[in-house]
Structure 1
Amino acid sequence: MNHRTVLACIALAATTLASASNPNIIYILCDDLGYGDVGICNPDGKISTPYMDRLGHEGMVFTDAHSGSAVCTPTRYGVLTGRYCWRSRLKRSVLKGYSKHLIEEGRTTVASLLKDQGYHTAFIGKWHMGWDWSLPKGFDVRSISYETNPPVDYSKPVKNGPKENGFIYSYGHCGSLDMPPYVYVENGMPTAIPEKDTVVTREESKNGWWRKGPTSPDFDHWDVLPNFTRRAVKYVEEQAKTDAPFFLYLPLPSPHTPVLPTKEFVGKSGIDSIYADFTLMTDNCIGQVMKAVEKAGVSDNTLIIVTSDNGCSPQADFEELLTQGHNPSHIYRGSKADIFEGGHRVPFIVRWPAKVKAGSVCADTTCLTDLMATCAEIAGTKLPTNAGEDSTSMLPNLLGTAKKPVREATVHHSIDGTFAIRQGKWKFIAAPHSGGWSSPRQKEKELWKDLPNVQLYNLEVDPGETTNLQDQHPEVVERLKVLIKKYKSEGRSTPAL
């Protein structure tokens, strides 16, 4: 055996040893779950969330966590790449069910990073970052509307999806449960060919509606959330028997529309709201995964993160919830899509018994883009210079060793492309409106034409963003303008390694 072979064996042995000691990582991303919808985050909340509450009591609750965007596609891109999505081709809004892949070919993802470090990686759930259906050569997917039924060949592989982005196993659907096509894809292949179109209109159902589109015989809207949960539980059970650590990315389709609680949960949430019942069901699904980890005997060295891709959607019916004393945004202004806190401040709960102190709270600002750098540090590796450009490791916060804020600043982004930047207590918004669906909207110019062109809030004393201080602190406005311009021009917001 020559010296090169010996060195290679030593390196392989070192990697194997490191992998054996690395924690399993389960990342559960809820869809449109508001910060105020989780009991341990909102003591005034009325929805029962016993499993998320338990997770927080046994781990750490972040009170200042933010999604990378106020809507789902860009947040998901940021979760897996550690890069703000506004640096990609998607500058506003979200992708549709037939959209082409968003993650650039060759880009490092959390999954590919961990896979290289000996992890078994799996995606189960809602993708919503585009993948490439088999369409006739030259077909322009940009011409597809929600009403279009394009000529997809469902007997052929889907390309540039989870499989090509580092996931050894993958099972899920392309977009939100109200976006066609309604087809499961497993390891790059549709599991069945659609035989019919299905639709439930808004007139037929207040919250349980979905757009008309091709539906496979094995795709039952009511069973999608339970199906993903069953598969996640089975995956944990199987991987816990192996020597390799695992990374499970579990983006749930709930409580986003269509709101479809099964009979077991209807009327059981604590208030009269189908959205609340679906949130309770979502919590129960999280609980099933927690139980699987505990039953498998790997709880101590399994890092579980539960969070949301953005704030709660108005589809939840805020007015109905507020009459019952429940605010999905808690004390924060706005909702999903907005640049205000209600659009992107999200629940973020972590349990890792071996490392994270039970019952701890972290008030440091964190962003969902930080998963990439955190996983790299946990796995004992470094990010490539062209990866994780907006990702900062939160491991010091998890371990309780941080001596100062781990992030210099955090950029926020709304559905219409409005920017904001947060540093310490200050939040600067580069527009006079909400950037989203709350009033004043960008298109409601009559409502904001006489307002200052920018907004500045001191979140330390004004978490509800009620008093614009831009005229009182011009030096802060200027400093944050310069910083966000720097982040844009330099292509990253973190130091290159």
Structure 2
Amino acid sequence: MKAQALLLSCLATGMSMNVTAQDKKQPNIIFILADDLGYGDLSYLNEQGKIKTPHLDKMASEGVVFGDAHSSSAVSTPTRYGVLTGRYNWRSTLKNGVLHWYDTPLIPSGRTTMASMLRNQGYNTACIGKWHLGFNFPTKDGQKPVDKPDEYNLDFTKEITGGPCDVGFDYFFGVDAPNYPPYCFIENRHTVGLPDTYYPVSQDMDSRAGRGLQGWEMKEILPAIEKKAVEYIDRSAESGKPFFLYFPLTSPHTPIVPTDEFADRSKLNEYADFVMQSDAVVGSILEALEKNKIADNTIVVFTSDNGCSPRADFELLAQKGHDPSYIFRGMKSDLFEGGHHIPCIVRWPAQAKPRRVDQTICLTDFMATFAALSGYRLADNEAEDSYNILPLLTASETGKTIREATVHHSIDGSFAIRQGKWKLLLSSYSGGWSEPRKAVVGAPEYQLYDLEKDPEEKHNLYKSNREVAQRLHDLLCRYVKEGRSTPGLQQKNDGPYPWKQLSWMNN
């Protein structure tokens, strides 16, 4: 404990210390990323919430609750890119939307990731769950994958490359996305079994057409990755070596398929049942840590990739008194808070005392945080948008503002920027699904909100605060042009250019 406290002290004061991750005092790290879970879906965070989440409530009571945490994007793939690289998603080649089934990898093999960084520092690394960052799927003719009823060129007897095991993870078990083919598990670089049964589009499951294993059951995906994660913790505890487990859940994203044990548990709808099952999965992880007597020095992060999806049925839940977005406007895909203001809890009994932190943070920040924790010195071309929030976890600098500003991004590539109480949307609408363009015809080009007074984003102050809007606008331009939002040498963004709403910029 003393060695670890000394390490944290050195990191906070800028002193150097020769400590490696081989030291058993280094904390284990588990990063749990829920899929499409709204801020208001945790009963700990929503005083009016109707979904019971006892395991997450307990974790929150024992950990640090970040009340103003944000995903880097309002949709899946981009946020996952940001978490694992510490870089804003819009700097990648993906300027809007998400990757589709059989798409190629978004993370280049040469880019440092959270996993490769921690492995370099002596950690065992594993990814168990939903990947959704692309693979190089093998084909018989060397052409792009084709998976149609009468045309098929995939060859799953060969290795699947470009996935977790090629960007720093020692082990992978999971799926590309639960509603994407191939409908089977992938372990390391191979499918578990050969997917040879064609499944048509299913509206109920929100699934795409393609091959899978015969008899594939969507509701068995979450229990399977839960079991694998617990087994991994058991093995890691025996080894005594520090480990990093990235555990991206497939829930409560579509297909919304709670198991029989959780069916109708919430008395609300299937989405709420699936949230409760997700809560129970977190409970299993925490129980495994306690059983193996490694809970005290294991950092567990729980968060979500974006806000709640409309597939949860907001209207029905509202009739029963529940709002997945809490008090926030919008939902998954939006620039409004409901799209990216997400739950974020960090439990680390050895060093982080229970409390709430209301500084703005972004999920990209965990890259620099874990770098500082493990003694890794980030290069200028690594984690360009990641701030070290370790002082907020350990309460060593609670009064200091860590982030200069935070950039938000929607499904269609629209931008917003937040600094302090001010948030500027470079769009006349949400940039997502909740409010179509036609609903705001005639609205000004930009929207500006004072989130201290107006967290619901009801009152657009753009016309009366043009100077604030201009300042935020110019700061965003600087972040784009410099290829980073943290101090360091200027970096290049990935093409193609231009970005939506930034077409006037000279890149």
What is the alpha-carbon distance in structure 1 between the residues aligned to residue 107 and residue 79 of structure 2?
Answer: 12
Task: Tell me the residue number matched to 1:162.
Answer: 164
Task: Tell me the residue number matched to 2:212.
Answer: 215
TM-score, structure 1 as length reference: 0.92
Task: Tell me the residue number matched to 2:376.
Answer: 381
- The answer on 1:124 being equivalent to 2:119 is no
Deviation at 1:136? 4.4
What is the alpha-carbon distance in structure 2 between the residues aligned to residue 225 and residue 354 of structure 1?
Answer: 30
**What runs of 5+ residues in structure 2 fail to find an aligned partner?**
1-16, 490-507
- The answer on 1:459 being equivalent to 2:451 is yes
Report the 3-state secondary structure (helix = DSSP H, G, I; strand = E; otherwise coil) of the residue aligned with 1:139. coil
Task: Tell me the residue number matched to 1:268.
Answer: 265
Deviation at 1:272? 2.1
Report the 3-state secondary structure (helix = DSSP H, G, I; strand = E; otherwise coil) of the residue aligned with 2:34. strand
Deviation at 1:183? 2.4
Report the 3-state secondary structure (helix = DSSP H, G, I; strand = E; otherwise coil) of the residue aligned with 2:481. helix
What is the alpha-carbon distance in structure 2 between the residues aligned to residue 15 and residue 404 of structure 1?
Answer: 26
Aligned in 2, Cα 1:149/1:397: closer, same or farther, shift over 3 Å?
farther
Task: Tell me the residue number matched to 1:255.
Answer: 252
The correspondence of residues 295-334 of structure 1 with structure 2, limited to 5 A, is 295-334=291-330
What is the alpha-carbon distance in structure 2 between the residues aligned to residue 295 and residue 42 of structure 1?
Answer: 30
Deviation at 1:209? 4.4
Deviation at 1:266? 1.1
Task: Tell me the residue number matched to 1:6.
Answer: none
Deviation at 1:448? 2.5
The correspondence of residues 37-436 of structure 1 with structure 2, limited to 5 A, is 37-137=41-141, 139-140=143-144, 150-175=152-177, 177-199=178-200, 201-202=202-203, 205=204, 208-217=205-214, 219-269=216-266, 271-358=267-354, 360-402=355-397, 403-436=399-432
TM-score, structure 2 as length reference: 0.90
Contact kept? 2:141, 2:153, Cα under 8 Å: no
* Deviation sequence 1:334-377 (CA, Å, 0-9, x none): 0000110000000001100001102x001011111111101001
Deviation at 1:284? 0.3
What is the alpha-carbon distance in structure 2 between the residues aligned to residue 188 and residue 94 of structure 1?
Answer: 22
What is the alpha-carbon distance in structure 2 between the residues aligned to residue 16 and residue 387 of structure 1?
Answer: 20
The alignment-based identity, stated in percent, is: 48
Contact kept? 1:366, 1:407, Cα under 8 Å: yes
Which residue, 475, 483, 506 being the options, matches 1:483?
475
Contact kept? 2:97, 2:411, Cα under 8 Å: yes
Contact kept? 1:192, 1:218, Cα under 8 Å: no
Task: Tell me the residue number matched to 1:10.
Answer: none
Task: Tell me the residue number matched to 1:8.
Answer: none
Deviation at 1:478? 0.5
Report the 3-state secondary structure (helix = DSSP H, G, I; strand = E; otherwise coil) of the residue aligned with 1:125. strand
Contact kept? 1:19, 1:379, Cα under 8 Å: no
What is the alpha-carbon distance in structure 2 between the residues aligned to residue 223 and residue 63 of structure 1?
Answer: 33
CA root-mean-square deviation: 1.8
What is the alpha-carbon distance in structure 1 between the residues aligned to residue 107 and residue 21 of structure 2?
Answer: 31
Report the 3-state secondary structure (helix = DSSP H, G, I; strand = E; otherwise coil) of the residue aligned with 2:129. strand
What is the alpha-carbon distance in structure 2 between the residues aligned to residue 225 and residue 146 of structure 1?
Answer: 27
- The answer on 1:468 being equivalent to 2:460 is yes
Aligned in 2, Cα 1:178/1:398: closer, same or farther, shift over 3 Å?
same
Deviation at 1:320? 0.3
**What runs of 5+ residues in structure 1 fail to find an aligned partner?**
1-12
Deviation at 1:72? 0.2
What is the alpha-carbon distance in structure 1 between the residues aligned to residue 444 and residue 237 of structure 2?
Answer: 56
Contact kept? 1:420, 1:427, Cα under 8 Å: yes
What is the alpha-carbon distance in structure 2 between the residues aligned to residue 75 and residue 454 of structure 1?
Answer: 24
Report the 3-state secondary structure (helix = DSSP H, G, I; strand = E; otherwise coil) of the residue aligned with 2:480. helix
Task: Tell me the residue number matched to 2:38.
Answer: 34
* Deviation sequence 1:166-186 (CA, Å, 0-9, x none): 0011111112x1222212211
What is the alpha-carbon distance in structure 2 between the residues aligned to residue 36 and residue 148 of structure 1?
Answer: 45
Deviation at 1:380? 1.4
Deviation at 1:145? 8.9
Q: Which amino acid aligns with 1:226?
A: P
* Deviation sequence 1:221-270 (CA, Å, 0-9, x none): 1110000000000000110111210000000000001100011111212x
Q: Which amino acid aligns with 2:232?
A: Y
Report the 3-state secondary structure (helix = DSSP H, G, I; strand = E; otherwise coil) of the residue aligned with 2:334. coil
Deviation at 1:149? 6.4
What is the alpha-carbon distance in structure 2 between the residues aligned to residue 200 and residue 262 of structure 1?
Answer: 22
The answer to which of 387-396 and 181-190 deviates more is 181-190
What is the alpha-carbon distance in structure 2 between the residues aligned to residue 110 and residue 163 of structure 1?
Answer: 13
What is the alpha-carbon distance in structure 2 between the residues aligned to residue 355 and residue 148 of structure 1?
Answer: 58
What is the alpha-carbon distance in structure 2 between the residues aligned to residue 394 and residue 49 of structure 1?
Answer: 26
What is the alpha-carbon distance in structure 2 between the residues aligned to residue 16 and residue 485 of structure 1?
Answer: 39
